[in-house]
Amino acid sequence: MTEEKTLMTSGPIVPILLKFAFPLFLGNLFQQLYNTVDSLVVGNVCGDAALAAVSSSGSLCHLFIGFFQGVFMGASVIISQRWGARDREGADRALHTTVFFSLLAGMALTVLGVLFTPTILRWMGTPEKVMPNSVEYFRIWCAGLMGLVLYNTATGIFQALGDSRRPLYYLMISAGVNVVLDLLFVAGLHMGVAGAALATVIGQALSALLAFGYLMSGRFVLRFAFRKLRPDRDTLGQVFRLGLPGGVQNSVISVANVVVQANINAFGDQAMAGCGSYFKLEGFAFLPITCLAMAITTFVGQNIGAGERERVQRGTRLGIAMTVGFAELMGVVFFLGAPFFVGLFSPTPDVVAFGVRQARTEALFYCFLAFSHASAAVLRGAGKTVTPMVVMLSVWCLFRISYITAMVALFRDIVVVFTAYPVTWSISSLLFALALKRGKWLDGVHLAG
């Protein structure tokens, strides 16, 4: 792949963003299959209690990887800015420093997850009837966490350098393997939730091996080599300066989601299964948001590196508009088709009813979620990572938890929990709009060098 093909600093903006985002969309679609196939197979083969166990582990999974995903996002901004400035040596240092950090992070997360799974699940108020399955699933998932960490690291490197297609190819292969193994382990060998977790771990490990195999092959614009695997002090400092706010933000928001999950758990295992099914489907509905936000961050980072400030501003307006439009379209589809989609996970009417109620409370407000994510993507690409952290921590964490705690005490209805999402999405959108309207986010932009 040539350097010109990885640059986003010239040419029509909308086609560039779509060309970058579409492979991301397909790749994330396959990645969603990991957990979704687990839930589909487990729910239909093993029953609602097992489905509840897999579903309740989802917020824990995000809690464990959220911090390091945020830090890796800082690394991605550094790589994209240096690449946009055509600083090949600097981008190479950032690549190897990022991989070094990801290896340490993966090992630490694996140990913490395996040791403390039961304790964390009890903090969440997981019902005793689903506790054994929840512990089994999450421990196996944690034991194979290194594959997920390394794959996400490689994906961030590819995307920062303008290549969103390569991760797609590896996910298509590994997702196919995951589906086959889910059917084999759960439906064929009757291994239950352990089989679903094992299938996910094997698929994740395969995607990591394929991604790093290509990075080491010499066919990409930068080459990973174990002999260069050492931290560069200056680069590592920049990774933490740009990535730490995102890491803290992701972790605390994940803690907030664990609190939300605990409130859902209080309504019983059918609520857990129904809402867990909704969250799986929500992951698909959010794909346009996630992928266009990634495209925006890379676009902004590279063009700032190249000194194209006016192009950054035009790309910001177009990128946000596209993200909001796609998200609201998905929200309307989800709102109308909720009974069918949730019914794929479980035939139990009460389980379906919980999922449908959540979908029809939240789906039409996806436009606000999209605006918040796209605005945060712009600011991160510009190296302004503190503003998204402050907005999302104050609104999506502190205010959301306070809102749920107060409202559930007044109205013992699970819909109160659901309304917390559109309320906080709307508030964060207003705050991000004010931040962008001030026009100071490009002033004093720091180029990672």
Tell me the C-alpha to C-alpha distance, in Å, between residue 115 and each of 31, 140, 192, 254, 338.
26, 11, 22, 19, 38
**pLDDT digit string, tens, across residues 196-238:** 889 989 988 999 999 999 999 988 888 999 998 888 888 888 8
Question: How far from the centroid of its chain's Cα atoms is residue 14's Cα?
Answer: 23
CA angle 285, 52, 335 (to 5 degrees): 25
**pLDDT digit string, tens, across residues 256-283:** 777 787 788 888 878 888 888 888 788 7
Q: How far apart are CA 300 and CA 312, in angstroms?
A: 6
Highest mean pLDDT among 49-53, 245-249, 352-356: 352-356
Residue 369, pLDDT score: 93
Rg (alpha carbons) of the chain, rounded to whole number: 21
Tell me what the mean pLDDT of segment 385-411 comes to.
88
Cβ contact 170:150 at 8 Å: no
Which residues have a Cβ under 8 Å from the Cβ of 188 and sit 6 or more positions away? Answer: none
Residue 63, pLDDT score: 66
Residue with tokens 């700032």: 304
Residue 446, pLDDT score: 46
Higher pLDDT, 354 or 57: 354
Q: How far apart are CA 178 and CA 100, in angstroms?
A: 27
Cβ contact 136:42 at 8 Å: no
Q: How far apart are CA 410 and CA 126, in angstroms?
A: 23
Tell me what the mean pLDDT of segment 144-173 comes to.
85
Residue with tokens 């395996």: 114
Residue 74, pLDDT score: 72
Tell me what the mean pLDDT of segment 227-254 comes to.
77
Residue 433, pLDDT score: 92
CA dihedral 398, 401, 404, 407 (to 10 degrees): -50
Tell me what the mean pLDDT of segment 329-349 comes to.
89
CA dihedral 286, 291, 294, 295 (to 10 degrees): -140
Highest mean pLDDT among 193-197, 360-364, 413-417: 360-364
Residue percentage of the chain with pLDDT more than 90? 20
Higher pLDDT, 318 or 58: 318
Q: What is the identity of the amino acid at 384?
A: K
Residue percentage of the chain with pLDDT more than 70? 89
Tell me what the mean pLDDT of segment 94-111 comes to.
88
The distance in angstroms from the start CA to the end CA of the chain is: 24
Residue 363, pLDDT score: 92
Q: Work out the pLDDT band at 429, boundaries 50, 70, 90.
A: very high
Cβ contact 230:372 at 8 Å: no
pLDDT at 62 over 80: no
Q: How far apart are CA 264 and CA 125, in angstroms?
A: 10
Residue 360, pLDDT score: 93
Q: Work out the pLDDT band at 449, boundaries 50, 70, 90.
A: very low
Tell me what the mean pLDDT of segment 18-34 comes to.
75
pLDDT at 448 over 50: no
Highest mean pLDDT among 100-109, 157-166, 352-361: 352-361
Residue 442, pLDDT score: 65
Q: How confident is the prediction for the chain on average, in pLDDT?
A: 83
Q: How far apart are CA 31 and CA 27, in angstroms?
A: 6
pLDDT at 51 over 50: yes
Closest alpha carbon to 417 in 361, 348, 372: 361
Reported pTM? 0.69
Higher pLDDT, 48 or 341: 341
Tell me the C-alpha to C-alpha distance, in Å, between residue 250 and each of 173, 193, 209, 326, 376.
29, 27, 26, 24, 13
**pLDDT digit string, tens, across residues 274-309:** 888 888 788 778 878 888 888 898 888 888 877 888
